[in-house]
Structures are given as C-alpha cells and as structure tokens.
Amino acid sequence: HPLSSFLGPWKTSFVRRPSRVQRRADGSEEGSFEELIQETQGLWNVIREGDFLDPTKISERRIVVMSTARLTELCGFPFVGMAALQKSSMMSRVADGLSPFANDEPVAMGGKVFQVMGDVVWPSLQVSMLVLAAISLTLLLSDEMQRVQLSVMGIDVEELRRRRLATLALITAALAIMIAPLQFAAF
C-alpha cells in the first residue's frame, strides 16, 4: 500500500489484515494485547495533541478514524458479555423469588417509593446503550457518505465498513439483551 508509511505502528493493523497471530522479529505477536495498548496510547497522543483537527495532516486523521473503528469494535464484545451476565443474574434471582437486583435499596421521594437499581440505574444504562447504538449508526452512515474522501485519505473503506457494522451489531445485541423482559430473555 503506497500510503502505509504514514501509519507507523498502525501499519500492520490496518494496511494488511493478518489472518492469524504472527511472530515479529522482536518476539512479540501481531494482534496481541500489547499492540492494542500501543494503539490506544498512540490514538490518545494524536487526540491530546489535536493534530487530527488540522486539515493538512491527513495521516493523523487516518489514524483517528481507523483506530477508533477498531477500538469500538473491540469494546462491543464486553458490552454484550456484561449485558448477558447481568440479564442471566437477574433471571436467576427472579426465578428464586428475589428482586432482579441484589442490594436494591428502596428510596422514598415525593411520596413515591422506587428501587434505585431497578427504577433508575438500569433504565439509565438502557438509554445509554440506545445512545451508543444511535452514535454507531450515525458513524456508519457518515462513513458511507464519505467513502470517496476516506479512500483518498488511504483508508481501507471495506475494512472500515466491516468494523462499523460489527460494532453496530454488537451494541444492538447488547441493547436487545438489556431491554428484553426477564421471561423472554432466556434465549
């Protein structure tokens, strides 16, 4: 790829996609956790310095677009896992005749009694996940509308689309798990 020299440490992650984990000359592995940490630190440095906001610095914009796509895709997996674990815990507690949430304290405000976890925190988490799904969809649509500009910047638009779709699917799955009623959540 002619623009791969601009990517620096991100070259192996985005210019060519390794089909399996490969050993480098220094003994580290491509696709390893250390590489993810390095990528996150590199992204943080670019964002902190604000260079990606300069229209003349295309390489920094490319790094931000591709790194955020990869990191958001990877963050989708824990969302689904945590939602599934929490929902299964809630189902187990309800099956035992308990409140869906452990240590759910009743609070009286304005003459009404409500449960903090069940009536405030859990619905807030559901709304937050809905907002994340909306942001993910917006990014996907924005990337689709800017395909030509992104490809001119040297971004693999097909890889970017795949990552954005995977992120949207994972966040939507987590949201579906979270909003499913307890009696229908056992799938």
30-70 pLDDT, tens digit per residue, is: 556 777 787 788 788 877 887 777 777 777 788 888 888 98
Query: Cα–Cα distance between 56 and 62 in angstroms, integer?
Result: 12
Q: Quick one: pLDDT band at residue 84, thresholds 50, 70, 90?
A: very high
C-alpha 183/C-alpha 1 separation (Å) is: 52
Mapped onto helix, strand or coil, the DSSP state of residue 23 is strand
| CB neighbour class for 72 (10 Å; exposed up to 12, middle 13-18, buried from 19) | buried
Which of the four pLDDT bands, split at 50, 70 and 90, describes residue 184?
Answer: low
* Between 31 and 179, the higher pLDDT residue: 179
- Whole-number Å distance between alpha carbons of 137 and 48: 26
Q: How much is the average pLDDT of 86-101?
A: 88
The residue among 187 and 153 whose pLDDT is bigger is: 153
First to last CA, the chain: 44
- pLDDT of 162 above 90: yes
Q: What is the pLDDT of residue 109?
A: 83
Residue 161, pLDDT above cutoff 50: yes
Is residue 97 scored above 50 in pLDDT?
Answer: yes
What predicted TM-score, i.e. pTM, was given to this entire model?
0.72
CB 13 within 8 A of CB 37: no
pLDDT in tens, 101-160: 887 778 888 888 888 888 888 999 999 999 999 999 999 999 999 999 889 888 899 999
Q: What confidence score (pLDDT) does residue 31 get?
A: 56
Residue found by looking up tokens 């699917």 in the block: 169
The C-alpha atoms of residue 181 and residue 106 are separated, in whole angstroms, by 21
pLDDT value of position 17: 42
Range in 19-23, 77-81, 115-119, 132-136 the model is least confident about:
19-23
CA 136, 67, 43, 38 dihedral sign is positive
Please determine, for residue 19, whether its predicted confidence score (pLDDT) is greater than 50: no
143, 164 in Cβ contact below 8 A? yes
